[in-house]
Amino acid sequence: MIKHFKKITGTGKYLQFNHTSSESKTKDFGKINLIYGNNGSGKTTLALLLRSLQGNDELLQRKRSFDRSVPQEVSIITDQLQDPNFEYDKGKWNQHLSDIEIFDVHFINDNIHTGLEIQNEHKKNLFEVILGKQGVQLKEEIAVLKERISKGNKVIRETGKLIEAHIGQAFTVTEYCDLEYDEDVEEKIKWKEQEIETASNIETIQKKPLLQQLPLIVLPYEKMDVESILQQSIDNISDDFLQQFEDHKNHLNMQGEAEEWIQEGFNAMQNETCPFCAQTVDSSKIIAVYQQYFNEEYRGLLEKISRLERAVESANLEANLFEIENKISSNLLLIDFWKKYVTAPINLQSVLDKKENLLNAFEKVKKVVEKKSKNPIHSQSIETLELLDKQVVDINDTLNGFNEKISFFNEGIETVKAAETPQMEKLQQEHQQLLAIQKRNLPEIVESCNNINTYSAAITRFRQTMKDKQAELDIFKQVVFTSFGNKVNEFLKIFAPYLQLKNLDSGYIGSSTNPMVKFGLYVNGNALNQKKNAVESTIKYSLSEGDKSAFALSFFMAKLELDKNLENKIIVLDDPISSFDNHRKKAMLEQLKKLSSKVNQLFLLTHDKGLANDFIKKIKSEKLEIHCYDIGFDGKSAEILNLDIDF
């Protein structure tokens, strides 16, 4: 309970009020108190002072006296066991007294209506009035969580901008901060850049040819056949006879046709008679020479040697080597292009370093063939054939190795050519992502991502907590709003039975982020239009001043009726019955009498002597004690005095 106002200075008309030095020291306040004062005497200042004591330091500053010669100070004494003194000095209370409920013009104007209309701001404030302390606490906790989430999101956005300055739009900030640094990112960047280059050169790639297979060194004969020719000898033919035949052939001087002419004659000869001159031939000598020379085995060998000579003479191994070299050079140019797109390793080298050995070996073979041609009946060494074959095998082994690599490399080229046309935009995005991952372990990035992850985790927790509290508030609100609406209607039946509140609920109006009260107000079953600028059936024109006061008082009384902490509350009513008729005054006094027995302390402030007398009588009729006070003026300052009950 409040015992008394010990001091009020510099506040409204209370320029220098002091409880102990007043003209007749007032007695302490009791459980039920009446404070009477004319309009403008200082009643509303007391109500405002107590409203500030609830927890609004700034509110009392607005009631600073015009005379600034004294400081604004207030001292209130209570029966509180601990810290009974409530001091206001230098714009602040040393402590607040929250268990005060005040019905005055500010309650009406802030929470119910302006006297002309119910505005959205009234509906926002009325939401808290209805919810009460528990509901408001939940609402405030939700608001704090929303603020924390908002601040956390702001930090995340600002930190995200720092990250985006490094990585652009490669990832969302949240995705990026969930990533870890990739140890292989450098290699992946390299290959991704290769893919991008491939995509940018796709037309050229499709037109670029494969590598060419390299031709092998091919000798103009079969090795086994040549070996047979060189090693073949004819023992039954005499070198002397062969020389005689050559001499005879040369003696005929037939410009290369002598051998054919002799053979025709030899084949046509009968009984050792010459077919050309019909003379008898001395067979013992020349016929024996002809018989050996035109021997079938010998003639066959000569034919083989002749073919071998022609083949060897026509062969051009040097041209063969240069053809190989040209294709190697051409392939090397292609490899230089394709190695950007094909990963198969390949290394082609010139074979010209083997040219001299190959040609030398071939020349030796040619000489052996020439030697065999000059002396057909004697065998020749095949060592030169083996030497040449070794050179050819060596070169061809190298070329076959090259060709295997070329085939494998060409498979890679075919794969590149057959691949689907790459999407450049996607490749560039993936490249940007790899570059971003490359920066993931930079100290400033690590710090920023840690901050974002920390704030994100906190926001997730806050959101879940807010969701839980919102669910709790929704359940609480559903119960409270139903009970509150019923209570308001109970009091309306007392003060204005033709008024009725319907569909009391809460929600959001327009773009507002704060919940508001929604309800329908009916007069004799007819809904009043609450829309702004409405013309017909509005509060402004459809309700009397008494109706408006009754409507506001019903909300206040319903709030008290549902307050589970009512026995600890100090209730203050400042001129609550403006425009009330006698019936409503009596109804209100009856409610005040009932209320006085339920609360810790009750103050009725009024300028109406009739109401004051009726209130005193009502209280005394119930054999209750009432403390009465009067607000006077000593010529300089308002003061609180004991009141003579007899007006």
pLDDT tens track for 483-496: 989 999 999 999 99
Which of 377, 403, 427 marks a domain boundary?
Answer: 427
Note whether 375 and 243 are same-domain residues: no
CB count in 10 Å sphere of residue 463: 15
Residue of 596, 257, 551, 221 whose CA lies nearest to 388: 221
* Residue 163 CA: distances (Å) to CA of 265, 452, 459: 109, 10, 19
Rounded average pLDDT over 512-539: 80
Note whether 263 and 342 are same-domain residues: no
Going by the DSSP 8-state scheme, the letter that residue 342 receives in this structure is -
Residue of 146, 110, 153, 105 whose CA lies nearest to 129: 110
CB 234 within 8 A of CB 302: no
The dihedral of CA 148, 152, 155, 158: what is its sign?
negative
> Which stretches does DSSP call E strand in 351-416?
none
Domain that holds residue 401: 196-235+307-427
**What are 517's two structure tokens?**
């009260």
Residue of 230, 145, 35, 63 whose CA lies nearest to 467: 145
Note whether 404 and 515 are same-domain residues: no
Question: Per-residue pLDDT for 286 more than 70?
Answer: no
Is there a domain that residue 445 lies in?
no
The per-residue pLDDT of the chain, averaged, comes to 86
- Mind listing the pLDDT tens digit for each residue in 114-140? 665 677 777 777 777 777 777 778 888
- Residue 266: pLDDT band with limits 50, 70, 90: low
Rounded average pLDDT over 515-531: 86
Q: Are strands 627-633 and 638-642 parallel, antiparallel or unpaired?
A: antiparallel
**What is the number of structural domains in the chain?**
3
Note whether 415 and 550 are same-domain residues: no
Question: Per-residue pLDDT for 468 more than 80?
Answer: yes
Going by the DSSP 8-state scheme, the letter that residue 544 receives in this structure is -
Residue type, 88: Y
Q: Are strands 32-36 and 601-606 parallel, antiparallel or unpaired?
A: parallel
- DSSP three-state, residue 434: helix
Note whether 261 and 339 are same-domain residues: no
Rounded average pLDDT over 607-613: 91
- Mind listing the pLDDT tens digit for each residue in 228-263? 988 887 655 555 545 555 665 566 666 555 555 555
In this prediction, residue 284 carries a pLDDT of 45
Q: Which long-range contacts (C-beta less than 8 Å, at least 24 apart) are formed by 497-501?
A: 498/523, 498/524, 499/523, 499/543, 499/547, 499/550, 499/551, 500/525
> Which stretches does DSSP call E strand in 435-558?
499-507, 516-523, 526-527
Is there a domain that residue 182 lies in?
no
Q: How far apart are alpha carbons 639 and 6 in whole angstroms?
A: 11
Rounded average pLDDT over 71-76: 96
Is there a domain that residue 32 lies in?
yes
Query: The domain that contains 120 carries what CATH number?
Result: 3.40.50.300
Q: Are strands 100-103 and 570-574 parallel, antiparallel or unpaired?
A: parallel
Question: Per-residue pLDDT for 304 more than 60?
Answer: yes
- Mind listing the pLDDT tens digit for each residue in 33-52? 999 999 889 999 999 999 99
> Which stretches does DSSP call E strand in 63-103?
73-78, 85-89, 92-93, 100-103
**What are 314's two structure tokens?**
């026509």
Q: How far apart are alpha carbons 334 and 330 in whole angstroms?
A: 7
Note whether 206 and 345 are same-domain residues: yes
Q: How far apart are alpha carbons 351 and 349 in whole angstroms?
A: 7
CB 491 within 8 A of CB 97: no
CB 53 within 8 A of CB 86: yes
Is there a domain that residue 621 lies in?
yes
Is there a domain that residue 363 lies in?
yes
In this prediction, residue 419 carries a pLDDT of 83
Is there a domain that residue 446 lies in?
no
Note whether 320 and 420 are same-domain residues: yes
Longest dimension (CA), the chain: 199
The larger pLDDT score, comparing residue 389 to residue 241, is at 389
Residue type, 146: K
Note whether 312 and 362 are same-domain residues: yes
Is there a domain that residue 396 lies in?
yes
Which of 371, 397, 427 marks a domain boundary?
Answer: 427
Note whether 210 and 340 are same-domain residues: yes
Note whether 317 and 252 are same-domain residues: no
Q: How far apart are alpha carbons 416 and 421 in whole angstroms?
A: 10
Note whether 261 and 213 are same-domain residues: no
Is there a domain that residue 33 lies in?
yes
Rounded average pLDDT over 313-338: 94
In this prediction, residue 480 carries a pLDDT of 85
Q: What is the CA radius of gyration of the chain?
A: 62
Task: Identify the helix (H) or strand (E) that includes residue 46.
Answer: helix 43-53
Of 110-119, 201-210, 278-287, 335-344, the least confident: 278-287
CB 608 within 8 A of CB 35: no
Q: How far apart are alpha carbons 641 and 24 in whole angstroms?
A: 7
Which of 271, 294, 317 marks a domain boundary?
Answer: 294
Note whether 226 and 247 are same-domain residues: no
